[in-house]
Structure 1
């Protein structure tokens, strides 16, 4: 049976527990930790129900998965076990097993897991930190390229119209959004779609992280101490990990193009991007912004988002296009070097 997944990984139509307040004692019953000393929500929001729990002898992080079904939770934990053996220069989340050896359990609220606490801070989007994050992501992608076939991660390669099953065809969306001031940009969607599709046979394809934002990085002493959140790990164009991170680390939120170039240099020094990958970066940034628009439009058609939500994504798409017109050529030029294949 073919299962259709949301962008965050939940099978579409799966019952959400977001409005249910979980009982922590029920969630933790399989671990038999005893009464916690202190419980707190993370300082910043997450896409799951997460609590930082101080026990008598240690601190742990409790996660209720609200985006993955049980099969994909098992897959994420198998991936974490694989990466733990790759001798990476930073940590990845380490599940704390139950007494009978399980790294996650089924609860009334969904799958739950407990992870060891990793000390450190969330980085700021400054050049030195961005370079180190790019380097760390490069090391991660080198490791992920060796993912064994037995793990069979999710395949994220798709056309724009398939971004959300409720979106329908792109022409209908463009007609509905006509007159919002972005008609010329919307007319470019077929070309953006075709450019990304053509790349699938021209650039390296492998397992990538897919969600490298600042909130998924822990730094300590100026170095990357850990990379977090492997929910979206799956098969896609390798360079999409870098372009996704450019968006999620705030590199496109400023006209200081040095943010983006320092991140890409750090990533490239480890991975060794091809010339085709580098010249494709502007096209893939457009594709990512367009995908966000199509995703929100699909939710809108299903009554899960408002038209204003869709317009916000359209405006963001326009902002990405404006940034690329100002800085795209310089960004590509800064990464190209003689002798690159």
Structure 2
């Protein structure tokens, strides 16, 4: 029987490069589909080992330059701190992708069903946005200036491929309708809003809080960070926290906005664009997952899930989404 705490030969060799003792306990972190992430423990020391499936070594080095700047920014929470190898570098190339070892950040995933937690989440997003203002585009893993629809595939052909694989007609229709509406929305946004470096993936799974006080203790996973529209930080925080859909969403959206004083941070044009940015992001996320499916890295069920989110977003945008900018603007910080 395989011991789940016994590291593989690859992991053992990797840890040896960082001079981690051979008897270290290694366990999966239990979340994430884009990387292999492990918790490493030796005595009272703990680390996180990530083997990236998506980033090149050059992109990881850029991510580490970004993290180095953030550690000097005076943030009230931690960000990953890469541990250097004996030669001073902070990544190790492996057959599975570049590997990074970081100091473990204590905390638990936040419960964003509570308004106070959403306020803290929104505040952390705003604090991070401020800290990223002066980061140079070349010190990030990605350049998102073209937007998520820049390399748009043949949507009709993609819908046919998905249908042939077993996707139902309703979801295939969502793909086509979503693409049409997102493209139209993006044409009204591109080149018209302030830009800066953004984290671009602020979900509950990428935030840690104290189990005792609920205060944010860390923000994780900067592999999606890049130069893009400033307002996308709030856009993603609203979408991935569940604060922009479902029963009672205006109250939850207001909590996120209030926590970070986002109504005062963003311009009128940014506030007006928030509903369309949420739609564009949902479409981009769907196409990204569909591309992974075509490459054999995601299941059809995962694509169907993204299409369900897109369908909900399309309905929300038509029925209620136009209120979002007003809600954010009116949510004054306490």
State the distance in 2 between where 1:314 and 1:295 align. 11
Aligned residue number for residue 3 of structure 2: none
Aligned residue number for residue 325 of structure 2: 332
Change (3 A) 1:301 1:153: closer
Please say if 1:211 is aligned against 2:201: yes
3-state SS, counterpart of residue 98 of structure 2: strand
Please say if 1:223 is aligned against 2:210: no
Aligned residue number for residue 273 of structure 2: 280
3-state SS, counterpart of residue 16 of structure 2: coil
Change (3 A) 1:25 1:194: same
Q: What is the Cα deviation at residue 194 of structure 1?
A: 3.3
Please say if 1:49 is aligned against 2:39: no
Q: What is the Cα deviation at residue 46 of structure 1?
A: 4.9
State the distance in 1 between where 2:240 and 2:88 align. 35
Unmatched 5+ stretches in structure 1:
1-20
State the distance in 2 between where 1:60 and 1:188 align. 41
Please say if 1:256 is aligned against 2:240: no
3-state SS, counterpart of residue 26 of structure 2: strand
State the distance in 1 between where 2:128 and 2:281 align. 21
State the distance in 1 between where 2:245 and 2:160 align. 29
What is the root-mean-square deviation in Å for CA atoms of aligned residues? Answer: 3.0
Q: Is the 8 A contact 1:210 1:233 kept in 2?
A: yes
Q: What is the Cα deviation at residue 254 of structure 1?
A: 2.9
Q: TM-score, normalised by structure 2?
A: 0.83
Q: Is the 8 A contact 2:126 2:260 kept in 1?
A: yes
How many residues align? The count is: 316
Aligned residue number for residue 79 of structure 1: 66
State the distance in 2 between where 1:190 and 1:215 align. 31
Unmatched 5+ stretches in structure 2:
1-7
Q: Is the 8 A contact 1:36 1:54 kept in 2?
A: no
Structure ranking higher in helix proportion: 2
State the distance in 1 between where 2:297 and 2:110 align. 33
Q: What is the Cα deviation at residue 88 of structure 1?
A: 1.2
Q: TM-score, normalised by structure 1?
A: 0.81
Change (3 A) 1:270 1:85: farther
Q: Is the 8 A contact 2:196 2:227 kept in 1?
A: yes
- Which residues in structure 2 correspond to 1:146-295 (within 5 Å)? 146-148=134-136, 151=139, 153-158=141-146, 161-163=149-151, 167-168=153-154, 170=155, 172-173=157-158, 179-180=169-170, 183=173, 186-187=176-177, 189-220=179-210, 221-252=213-244, 254-257=246-249, 258-269=251-262, 272-295=265-288
Aligned residue number for residue 65 of structure 1: 52
Change (3 A) 1:123 1:237: same
Change (3 A) 1:324 1:305: same
State the distance in 1 between where 2:97 and 2:141 align. 21
State the distance in 1 between where 2:25 and 2:297 align. 36
